[in-house]
Structure 1
Amino acid sequence: MPRTPLRSQGPRLRRRTAAALLASAVSLCLVAAGAPAVPLGVGDRLFPYLGNPGYDVAAYDLAFRYPGANTEPLQAVTTIDAWTTADLDRVNLDFAHGTVHSVQVDGRPAAFADAGEDLVITPEEPVSRGNWMRITVWHTSDPASPKGREGGWVRTADGLAMANQADAAHLVFPCNDHPSDKALFTIRVTAPDDHTAVANGLPTDVDRSGGTTTWTYRTRHPMATELAQVSIGRSTVLHRTGPRGLPVRDVVPTEHRAALEPWLQKTPDQIAWMESKVGAYPFETYGLLVADATTGFELETQTLALFERGLFTGSSYPKWYVESIMVHELAHQWFGDSVSPRAWSDLWLNEGHATWYEALYAEEKAGKSLEARMKAAYGASDRWRASGGPPAAPKAPKPGQKIGIFRPNVYDGAALVLYALRQEIGRPAFERLERFWVDRHRDGTATTGDFVRLASEVAGRDLGGFLQAWLYGEKTPPMPGHAGWKAARGGKDTAAMKRGALVRGAGVSG
């Protein structure tokens, strides 16, 4: 019998350790005073200039002032509290789409310059390793899409929402835009009185003054920047209760409230279903943000998942399929949000698990065979690997198409890896593994290597070789228990699978 895994030490310690290692690895690259400003990164294989070394963000305080029209820039103030992991003459933040008015470091004015997609800040005095620092940036946040870029603010029929995955949060606010550096968020939005603003977490204050309202929200759990969400519009906020008294709130266009209600009322039972599989919901609230916009994707923003209105009010897809997509985004709250990828190459851990529970829900609730879906995925897997890379080593995106990492190989291709693992170790061990995974890494980050080690621990034997072939092989290995399954050499994917990838991510994820 494998031992029950112990909870790891806190996410803050894990993140500080990772940040310290990264800072050490790139210490020679840190900019010396007087040298030209240069963009930095944490060395992500897919996004080499994403994130920044030398510090670990503990908290963001974001303040936006919405002018009443989604065509005009918002005035914004971003405050970052961070712990330094290296001596810093300069501090790099990711920020690429706004005008910076001024910057302070620990309350004192600081010089700043642009370098690539970085905002490079030079404080009056260097900041030494092992100290807290507070950076405040006064800037604009522009809802107009930058040329050649995807993500950031999404214009809706009556306002704005956010879609920051994979690397677009820094189109909205200055940040350390990499999922390895999670932090707490406080988000304040000031908007005209006829608008409603909602953000991640729970509301802490509503202040009305002079024809405007300031809404304040705060997260109780750390969050990756790519999961930040702000909705501003003529919206209605609906409240209901989930399992164990969980507050469930949905944000919908007021005029479509009645049409959306039959879908929204399914959420509490879907949460209960997910809890029966992997344990307690990991956050303080959940709900759907239904945007009156055409995006081509749904997105698992933490505690407030983003959906297109047309998914629910259109007639293109059967009821069971729409419900399974709702579960896909819900599953991400455990897989991807609570347990975030240490690097973007670990994306399969997010999307493979969300696709797995999407498919399992469709089987249990609508009689849609999981085995049949996995057999079809097996037939397409070699093509997916050739086109997009193996599940745990996706090919880099093309220039200007950063969301191109969200290919079928990290959706059904990665769910196929989980199916193979369940076939190899048996259903009881696999189900224990899933629960242990989200418990051990709750509120933290994890890698593919972490998953392989835990799977081996639960199974009571080394699964490194087995999972190496499934996760990194150019060809799909034989499926345990299904010797007759064959991977097709040519042809095209089915329309259903193409739509599956589109709805679950369209490149952005979901």
Structure 2
Amino acid sequence: MLLTPHARSPRRLKAAALLASAVSVCLVAASAPATPLGVGDRLFPHLGNPGYDVASYDLAFTYPGSNSKPLKAVTTIDAWTTTELDRINLDFAHGKVDSVEVDGEPATFTGVGEDLVVTPEEPLPGGSWMRITVQHTSDPVPAQGRDGGWVRTTDGLAMANQADAAHLVFPCNDHPSDKAMFTIRVTAPDGYTAVANGLPTGVDRVAGETTWTYRTQHPMATELTQVSIGRSTVLHRTGPHGLPVRDVVPTKHREALEPWLEKTPDQISWMESKIGRYPFETYGLLMADAGTGFELETQTLSLFERDLFTEPAYPKWYVESIMVHELAHQWFGDSVSPRNWSDLWLNEGHATWYEALYAEEKADRPMETRMKAAYGASDRWRAAGGPPATPKAPNPGQKISIFRPNVYDGAALVLYALREEIGRPAFQGLERAWVSRHEDGVATTADFVALAEEISGRDLGGFFQDWLYGEKTPPMPGHPDWKSVAIPKAATGKAAK
């Protein structure tokens, strides 16, 4: 349901009418020291903020023509309060805040930890609409000891905000459980091209600068935000059922990349044959001239390192399967987002599953061979990174270290075991029902278990308990001969140090 701002009486009158007996209590609370908050995520306890639900973000960035200088930015957040608030905590940790307004009135603010704590003139009653406007800078120079945020390319910038780095770029409620609509405006000097999530809604050229505006048609988690600024070419083609497909490539590499890009429409058709219609308004690949060490499923515009496609050492089948991995994330992780980061296995396990299935069907790389190898390593992965649904916390200063093998092939192994347990027809029905039932929403491991039981008509509690939370890998249904090799205790202790 789209939440639209509505007319209301001035804040002071409303607060006076609704909170006459509570204002003094709130003001006393407001005098207490500001503290960083969080939504209680097991892996990122200070990520996200309670007390409100964001409906939309309006982000405006002005690029100065250098990827080493801060961008001027304005972030506008429309949200519902879910409880009475005398303060509003936003996640923001890598920029200078010049001013904050709440409902058009100046508000005081301070930085505490990685939170921007805003104090409006009057307390905000629960169930009310609020608009927060923050004038700030957005620094593309990496934060010391932090992963993610802006990625500096050879000719501009891109974003890589997973898992907890969107707030290094703009103030937000930086947790996937609070998805919202986005409008993104980027102003850059002539000669640059800017592209962002969603579809373009306008291009304005004034005095040597161009402003591009993009808007999403589906809610999006902050970690999936993407903005590309560079000397780029945007290539257009048509996908299944008229889907607009746009790719963003460094202009000088356009011809070399085209043979890869033209594969995308058929890959979308292949995914749709497995799980149903593509869930968003557009798709495409952003080819970045940057060394990130990963590819990223930013919503409607997946981020790839250009070298993946130009390095001759990578086999053709491997590159294509990685393209499908990020495409599969548009369903698993983007449309259906994790409610908590411990549910990450649902994202990466499914993307790895369809990556492997594509390689099996298109390149004769048997799924069973890959899964047997994963089974052999599974106990080692569980010891190093935790079971698939209870991954160990990230290493200090390396938040992306939660992306360990056991949430990739280890989680795909869970799906393989499930298919063996309930049979292919039930498994295929589960996959389609999962992305349909939770489209544009968030879901948990418990939701997946419940749906699997519903579709299969079986009690699967013990199965999932062992496969998702067990320290040891259970026997593989249908393959009693498969063995997993554990790490010797002495080796485990040494590695832990």
TM-score by length of 1: 0.90
Partner of 1:503: none
Partner of 2:129: 132
Q: In 2, distance between residues paired with 1:313 and 1:229?
A: 23
Partner of 2:373: 376
Q: In 1, distance between residues paired with 2:480 and 2:28?
A: 56
Partner of 1:47: 44
- Matching of residue 452 in structure 1 with residue 460 in structure 2: no
Partner of 2:187: 190
Partner of residue 404 from structure 1, selected from 401, 406, 414: 401
Which letter does structure 2 place at the counterpart of 1:56?
D
Which letter does structure 1 place at the counterpart of 2:84?
D
Partner of residue 59 from structure 2, selected from 42, 57, 62: 62
Partner of residue 83 from structure 1, selected from 69, 80, 92: 80
Partner of residue 154 from structure 2, selected from 142, 147, 157: 157
The answer on whether the counterparts of 1:31 and 1:90 sit within 8 Å (CA) in structure 2 is no
RMSD of aligned residue pairs (Cα, Å): 1.4
Which letter does structure 2 place at the counterpart of 1:475?
K
The answer on whether the counterparts of 2:70 and 2:139 sit within 8 Å (CA) in structure 1 is yes
Q: In 2, distance between residues paired with 1:427 and 1:11?
A: 37
The answer on whether the counterparts of 2:81 and 2:129 sit within 8 Å (CA) in structure 1 is yes
The answer on whether the counterparts of 1:98 and 1:142 sit within 8 Å (CA) in structure 2 is yes
Partner of residue 207 from structure 1, selected from 204, 207, 210: 204
Deviation for aligned residue 1:463: 0.7
Partner of 1:428: 425
Partner of 1:5: none
- Distance of aligned partners of 1:225 and 1:30 in 2 relative to their CA distance in 1, 3 Å threshold: farther
Deviation for aligned residue 1:39: 0.1
Partner of residue 316 from structure 1, selected from 296, 308, 313: 313
Which stretches of structure 1, 4 residues or more, deviate above 4 A after TM superposition? Answer: 28-31
The answer on whether the counterparts of 1:78 and 1:137 sit within 8 Å (CA) in structure 2 is yes
The answer on whether the counterparts of 1:80 and 1:134 sit within 8 Å (CA) in structure 2 is yes
Deviation for aligned residue 1:490: 3.7
Deviation for aligned residue 1:372: 0.4
| Partner SS state of residue 486, structure 1 | coil
Partner of 1:92: 89
- Distance of aligned partners of 1:143 and 1:30 in 2 relative to their CA distance in 1, 3 Å threshold: farther
Q: In 2, distance between residues paired with 1:116 and 1:462?
A: 45
Partner of 1:245: 242
Deviation for aligned residue 1:305: 0.1
| Partner SS state of residue 170, structure 2 | coil
- Distance of aligned partners of 1:95 and 1:205 in 2 relative to their CA distance in 1, 3 Å threshold: same
The answer on whether the counterparts of 1:11 and 1:445 sit within 8 Å (CA) in structure 2 is no
The answer on whether the counterparts of 1:93 and 1:174 sit within 8 Å (CA) in structure 2 is yes
The answer on whether the counterparts of 2:48 and 2:173 sit within 8 Å (CA) in structure 1 is yes
The answer on whether the counterparts of 1:155 and 1:161 sit within 8 Å (CA) in structure 2 is yes
1:164-208, Cα deviation, whole Å (9 max, x unpaired): 000000000000000000000000000011000000000000000
Deviation for aligned residue 1:11: 9.8
Higher Rg of the two aligned structures: 2
Partner of 1:388: 385
Deviation for aligned residue 1:288: 0.1
The answer on whether the counterparts of 1:31 and 1:89 sit within 8 Å (CA) in structure 2 is no
- Matching of residue 259 in structure 1 with residue 256 in structure 2: yes
Deviation for aligned residue 1:141: 0.1
The answer on whether the counterparts of 1:105 and 1:133 sit within 8 Å (CA) in structure 2 is yes
1:253-284, Cα deviation, whole Å (9 max, x unpaired): 00000000000000000000000000000000
Which letter does structure 2 place at the counterpart of 1:41?
G
Q: In 1, distance between residues paired with 2:465 and 2:141?
A: 43
Unpaired runs of 5+ residues, structure 2, are: 4-24, 489-497
Partner of 1:341: 338
Q: In 2, distance between residues paired with 1:243 and 1:30?
A: 57
Q: In 2, distance between residues paired with 1:337 and 1:464?
A: 27
| Number of equivalent positions | 467
Q: In 2, distance between residues paired with 1:39 and 1:145?
A: 22
Partner of residue 348 from structure 2, selected from 344, 348, 351: 351
Deviation for aligned residue 1:452: 0.1
TM-score by length of 2: 0.93
Q: How does 1:279-290 map to 2 (within 5 A)?
A: 279-290=276-287
Deviation for aligned residue 1:32: 2.0
Partner of 1:488: 485
Q: In 2, distance between residues paired with 1:323 and 1:402?
A: 28
Partner of residue 222 from structure 2, selected from 221, 225, 229: 225
Q: In 2, distance between residues paired with 1:31 and 1:334?
A: 46
Deviation for aligned residue 1:465: 1.1
Q: In 1, distance between residues paired with 2:41 and 2:61?
A: 30
Q: Point out which structure has higher relative CO (alpha carbons under 8 A, 6+ apart).
A: 1
Deviation for aligned residue 1:29: 13
- Distance of aligned partners of 1:411 and 1:29 in 2 relative to their CA distance in 1, 3 Å threshold: farther
Which letter does structure 2 place at the counterpart of 1:194?
G
Q: In 2, distance between residues paired with 1:393 and 1:417?
A: 13
| Partner SS state of residue 43, structure 2 | coil
The answer on whether the counterparts of 1:150 and 1:401 sit within 8 Å (CA) in structure 2 is yes
Partner of 1:117: 114
1:386-419, Cα deviation, whole Å (9 max, x unpaired): 0000000000012111111000000000000000
1:407-445, Cα deviation, whole Å (9 max, x unpaired): 000000000000000000000100000000000000000
Partner of residue 175 from structure 1, selected from 169, 172, 197: 172
Q: In 1, distance between residues paired with 2:182 and 2:237?
A: 24
- Matching of residue 326 in structure 1 with residue 323 in structure 2: yes
Q: In 2, distance between residues paired with 1:11 and 1:152?
A: 28
